[in-house]
Chain A
Amino acid sequence: MQTGRAARIALYLYGALAIAFLYLPLVSVGFASISKARYLSFPIKRYTTQWYGKALESHTVNDLLWTSLTIAGIVTVVSMVVGFFGALAFARYHWRFRGVFQKLILLPIFFPQAVLGLALLMWFNFVGWIPDWKSAVVAHLVWISPIATLVIAIRAYSFDPALEEAARDLGASTWTILREVTGPLLMPGVVSAGLFAFLLSWGNFPLSLFTTGADSTLPEWLYAKMVSGYSPLVPTVGILSIATSLVLLIIAYGISRLLRSGRDRRQQADG
């Protein structure tokens, strides 16, 4: 009995340490953003929220937020669409070059992002495209859409092909099958892929560094300010970045719940 209790305490301690290891850095960024002092030191002598006010008033920060949001938003939507059809080709249908496709689609994930970013930058120069936030969208898509494809493919692998065959046997056309059977069944995977895509694009630094040109994203700005010109505005923008992604995730979750309940209501009304 004593041994059991000791083991339980050790387990709780281990859990607490693991959580501290994961979240203390974030908490310290939070403290840095509300410290009056330029550099963080404990105990904090004077607290302030002035950096939040400055960040929200700053045109630069607003531009950064907007650029990052635009890139992540477009990457999310495109990744979901590309990933959906890519997953069908990857996992659901048997076709001649499926094996080659499966290998090629995985490759970009294994490239170091810095190398991928450099390659894309060279390619943009070669084709005469002056890098800006739009080229960053393409760069993010090269890396993120395969991941979205894989996430949806995991769902597609658990899909019983007989469901589509049964729908066809019951009179459904290819489009109807996609709308009534395949789409709804893969939707949880598509939503997960969308969330992944957003988070990976929102927080991406290496690809953005090489491919945004004169435009800048939040992670790039954070890095630049860490290198030179640090002020408590830097951790403040970092916290705002985390808060934004959290808010967007909550909104996405709410929308998916609304869509699901709306679909249920429609189906009940149809029924």
Chain B
Amino acid sequence: MQPEPILRIEKLVKRFGQFTALHGVDLDIQEGEFLTIVGPSGSGKSTLIRLLVGIEEPTSGHISLRGKRIETLPANHRPTCMVFQSLALFPHRSVGENIEFPLKIRGDAVGPRRERALALMDLLHLPQDFYDKRINQCSGGERQRVALARALAFDPEILFFDEPLSALDFRLRKNLEKELKDLHARTGKTFVYITHSLEEAMLMSDRIAIMREGGFEQIAVADEIYAKPVSRFVAEFMGEVNLFDVESTGGGGLQGSGLEVQMAPDQLLPELRVPQGGHGALMVRPEAVRFLGPGEAADFALDGVMRAEYALGSRTQYKVEAGDGREIAVEKLREDRFAGRSGDPVRLGWDQGHCHMIVEE
């Protein structure tokens, strides 16, 4: 049985004039969880987080924190806190004064305030002599840490993040993603993180919620979302994917998009079955597709011509043109790269254990 969630969202709606940004979303967030909300621009994720921290008021619906309704509470009366996209550090205050701000507002004495700020600076690997440094003298990564320390000084029940790493360079972002994950483990706090970066979501989160047009498309752990998306949108949003429109030909048979498979009914995995006459999108990720050698077999196979090769660092991606003109993506580790050249005929194959069927109405 699931424990009582720390935050429950029920039928939350937000309208701006004629435009509906959120269409009655429901979500339970468990205590200590790292939940990431991912979605394309305009999907409503920033609106949702602004409602959750109390900067905006919902049009209708409920938000409950530990069972108490908070949707009408203003932001300064909620025990939650947010790290803003712009970080929103006060430029007229030093690093130490920024971190101490929530403690000052709370009326804490000078000594304990400073002590807490220095402890948080230590936790976030900020040197102690940064205490008197001006914000405009700090680098992007240092500012990021100051914003985090300030939010932690507030000691929130839930810490929200609105794409705080989006403005940083790749290397720094990668480091901070790992640090955030470590920080979550060390503090045990509930983190709700918003991003449009799939990699960020995959690296840090316990669960991922995919948003689309003001609603949740799928909420699940990262592996499940990646391997078993509920829709084409989620499948494509979670990275490069090959989707084949197929229909059942009865028993263990599937046909369409250049594929034709006829297996014994008990051989085809149950999760790949489509009702008789029904349609589905057979999904296989590029890393699960193999180049088949002569005499090599696979559950699914098709012939094509090598068209392009893209080096992705540790991996290489290939584009293969299938017989019906569609492009199939294949990804291999650098050491397993394809030996041929562009224009060579190739045979691709994959096993049903690496496939997922998105059944369509």
Contacts and interface: CB of A to CB of B under 8 A. Distances in A.
B74 interface: yes
Nearest to B77: A171
Interface centre among A163, A181, A184, A269 (most CB of B within 10 A): A163
A165 B154 contact: no
Chain B interface size band reads: 20 to 34
B113 interface: yes
Nearest to B84: A162
A165 B97 contact: no
A167 B55 contact: no
A106 B75 CA distance: 35
A57 interface: no
A236 B232 CA distance: 85
B101 interface: yes
Given A162-B84, A163-B88, A270-B110, A168 B101 contact: no
B1 interface: no
9 contacts: A160-B86, A162-B84, A166-B82, A167-B101, A169-B76, A171-B154, A185-B90, A185-B92, A267-B94
Given A169-B53, A270-B110, A162 B88 contact: yes
Contacts of A160: 86, 88
Contacts of B321: none
Contact of A173 (B76, B94, B96, B101): B76
A175 to B, nearest CB: 11
Interface in B68-105: 74-76, 80-82, 84-86, 88, 90-94, 96-97, 100-102, 104-105
Interface residues of A, number: 22
A145 B315 CA distance: 65
B106 interface: yes
B82 A169 contact: yes
B114 interface: yes
A168 B86 contact: no
Contact of B93 (A162, A170, A267): A267
A267 B75 contact: no
Interface string A162-206: 110111111111001000110011000000000000000000000
Interface of A: 160, 162-163, 165-173, 176, 180-181, 184-185, 267-271
Given A180-B101, A267-B94, A269-B110, 15 more contacts: A165-B55, A165-B75, A167-B90, A168-B55, A168-B74, A168-B76, A169-B55, A169-B76, A169-B80, A169-B81, A170-B150, A171-B102, A267-B97, A271-B113, A271-B114
B110 A165 contact: no
Contacts of A170: 76, 81, 101-102, 105, 150-151, 154
A168 B82 CA distance: 10
Contact of B92 (A169, A176, A184, A268): A184
Contacts of A166: 82, 84, 88, 90
Contacts of B90: 163, 166-167, 181, 185
Interface in B38-83: 53-55, 74-76, 80-82
Contacts of B154: 170-171
A171 B53 CA distance: 11
B89 to A, nearest CB: 8
B97 A169 contact: no
A187 to B, nearest CB: 8
The 7 closest A-B pairs by CB, nearest first: A166-B88, A162-B88, A170-B102, A171-B105, A168-B75, A169-B75, A184-B92
Contacts of A162: 84-86, 88
A170 B100 CA distance: 10
Contacts of A270: 104, 110
A229 B327 CA distance: 96
A267 B95 CA distance: 12
A171 B106 contact: yes
Nearest to B160: A169
A171 B86 contact: no
Contacts of B76: 168-173
